[in-house]
Chains A and B, each alone.
Chain A
Amino acid sequence: MSLEKTNALIDHLDKDFAGADTRISPETTAATTRLIAEDEEAAKEWAYLQRAVDAVQQAGLYQQVASARQQWESQAESAAETQQQDHPPAEAPAAGMVRNLYRNMMRAAAVILVLLAGGAIFKYVRLSSSSLYSEYYSSYELNTSRGAAGQDSIDQAYTARNWNEVLTLSADAKTSSNKMEFLAGMADLELKKFDDAIAHFEQVIASNTHSGQDYFEDEAEYYLAMSWLAKRKVNEAMPILEKIKANKDHLYHDKVEKMSFTDLRLVQYKENK
């Protein structure tokens, strides 16, 4: 492609930008449009030029968002410092320790897998996300002493296993609470509406982050993992289950610890195949 034609394509590309060359006549514009439509080489060059402009715009957007992120992080840092001065936090476990623990668990799991190869093949055929879900899922029992005094209507509907009523009450409520979101998620889970259940559980987690509370957090995390298993998405369930297993204070730690992570990894391998 001649330099002249390429430059004509660039002028054509520039016409919607503020820096465009205003001396380009309508006749030239029409001729370039025809060139792109009729000449294969020109059409190809045109596509490359458009993608090049896309690259410039992507890089510009990245720069702009990165700068906003930087400002946000420095703001958050100073807010955290102020909070730390007022309330020094309890010491958290080092991230490296958690990673080492994870690596060691992986190594151990690998050795066990080799030793139990025969058993694993049998399991391999039998196992699936949904079989694990059926094995590990148990309905959530509502602890009525946890909420306000006395059972309210959503508690009663939940205890009566009237799942549709739970969903109606939750949808009609003027103000939502974590408990209501969680119970709606459980009702969806019981009705096998897994996508809706996931949305409710994620909402509980997000709302806690926003408010700084942990109301129904542990429950939402555990049943979020269960929902992913039910949806046959073990990849999504695994990080949550590993997080629960690593946290001894988690309400569902003991329950998750009893799960067979070998089985879970076998399913992960099988379903990613």
Chain B
Amino acid sequence: MKVAEKYTDAELTSAISSGKDLDPAIHFLYRQYSEAIRSFIMSYGGNEQDADDVFQETVIAFIDCVKKGKYRQESSVKTFLASVARHIWFNDLKKKERAGIREKKYESARDQQEKDISHQIGDVEQRRQLRELLTQLGEPCHKLLHLFYYENLPMKEIVEHLPYENEQVVRNKKYKCLQQLTGLLKANPALAGQLNELIK
């Protein structure tokens, strides 16, 4: 882990939004907030593994929220993380306790603050399902799409990381990989259903 970098809330969100040097920002989140959030989850009946998993999912949701410009900075990062963690943990608890029948009832019982958080961080379960799709894609395609769409590398550098002859071959392969991924998306009833609802 890199040597301590310190951020104010504004510096942290700006580092995340810029997308550059995300690693130090993630390390800072772990160093600064993981203990407090973990103890918070454990005080609500979670074990250590639950607390670690919830914090990881909290960090992902927070970064995603900042990157998409949905974090409104109305509260401090610490308070926001605590609300996100609480939201994720209670959703997990409800799922564990009563798979299936609870969601609708739970939704109606939520207060405004929880609805706001839910609106800002999006659907955590949907995010998990999206990640799961990539594991069905096969390593070569996953790597190629990761380098292009996540690492945001120029084609010249992508070619250096992959066993393909030139940029055009990589580009053709990428077309196929992305279509393969949309195929998996269309074949997933839950994800396709949500998307079709949005398109309507």
Residues of A within 8 A of B155 (CB): 19, 21
Given known pairs A56-B181, A66-B56, A235-B93, the reply for A206 and B105 (CB within 8 Å) is no
B171:A21 contact, CB within 8 angstroms: yes
Nearest CB in chain B to that of A53: its residue: B149
Given known pairs A21-B171, A75-B1, A95-B47, the reply for A64 and B26 (CB within 8 Å) is yes
A56:B90 contact, CB within 8 angstroms: no
Given known pairs A209-B35, A235-B94, the reply for A59 and B1 (CB within 8 Å) is no
Given known pairs A52-B182, A56-B150, the reply for A64 and B22 (CB within 8 Å) is yes
A43 touches B (CB below 8 Å): yes
Cβ < 8 Å to A, chain B residues 42-76: 43-47, 52, 55-56, 59-60, 63-64
Interface SS of chain A: helix, strand, loop or mixed?
helix
Which among B43, B131, B145, B158 has the greatest number of chain A C-beta atoms within 10 A?
B43
A243 touches B (CB below 8 Å): yes
Q: Give CA–CA (A224, B152) in the complex, Å.
A: 45
Q: Give CA–CA (A43, B200) in the complex, Å.
A: 10
**Min C-beta distance of B118 to chain A, whole Å:** 16
Q: Give CA–CA (A7, B176) in the complex, Å.
A: 9
Q: Which of the four size classes fits the interface of chain B?
A: 35 or more
A69 touches B (CB below 8 Å): yes
A69:B56 contact, CB within 8 angstroms: yes
A51 touches B (CB below 8 Å): yes
A47 touches B (CB below 8 Å): yes
Q: Give CA–CA (A161, B30) in the complex, Å.
A: 40
Given known pairs A17-B149, A205-B43, A206-B39, the reply for A43 and B199 (CB within 8 Å) is yes
A55:B152 contact, CB within 8 angstroms: no
Residues of B within 8 A of A14 (CB): 148
Given known pairs A43-B199, A209-B35, the reply for A68 and B27 (CB within 8 Å) is yes
**Mask: chain A, 8-28; 1 = CB below 8 Å from B; 0 = not:** 001000100111010000000
B7 touches A (CB below 8 Å): no
B154:A224 contact, CB within 8 angstroms: no
**Min C-beta distance of A197 to chain B, whole Å:** 14
Nearest CB in chain B to that of A47: its residue: B199
Residues of A within 8 A of B20 (CB): none
Nearest CB in chain A to that of B186: its residue: A48
A202 touches B (CB below 8 Å): yes
**Min C-beta distance of B53 to chain A, whole Å:** 9
Nearest CB in chain B to that of A221: its residue: B43
**Min C-beta distance of A62 to chain B, whole Å:** 5
A61 touches B (CB below 8 Å): yes
**Min C-beta distance of B146 to chain A, whole Å:** 5
**Min C-beta distance of B176 to chain A, whole Å:** 10
**Min C-beta distance of B2 to chain A, whole Å:** 9
* Option from A57, A238, A243 in Cβ contact (under 8 Å) with B150: A57
Q: Give CA–CA (A235, B105) in the complex, Å.
A: 13
Q: Give CA–CA (A238, B93) in the complex, Å.
A: 12
A206:B40 contact, CB within 8 angstroms: yes
B134 touches A (CB below 8 Å): yes
Given known pairs A52-B178, A202-B40, the reply for A65 and B153 (CB within 8 Å) is no
* Option from A62, A72, A207 in Cβ contact (under 8 Å) with B34: A72
* Option from B45, B130, B145 in Cβ contact (under 8 Å) with A51: B130
Q: Give CA–CA (A180, B142) in the complex, Å.
A: 52
* Option from B64, B90, B113, B154 in Cβ contact (under 8 Å) with A19: B154
A81 touches B (CB below 8 Å): no
B131:A59 contact, CB within 8 angstroms: yes
12 A-B pairs (CB sep. < 8 Å): A7-B175, A10-B179, A19-B155, A51-B130, A55-B131, A56-B181, A60-B151, A64-B23, A68-B59, A209-B35, A235-B94, A239-B93
Known: A51-B191, A64-B26, A206-B40. 13 other contacts (CB 8 A): A48-B185, A49-B182, A55-B130, A55-B134, A61-B60, A65-B26, A73-B52, A205-B39, A206-B37, A235-B90, A239-B44, A240-B43, A272-B106
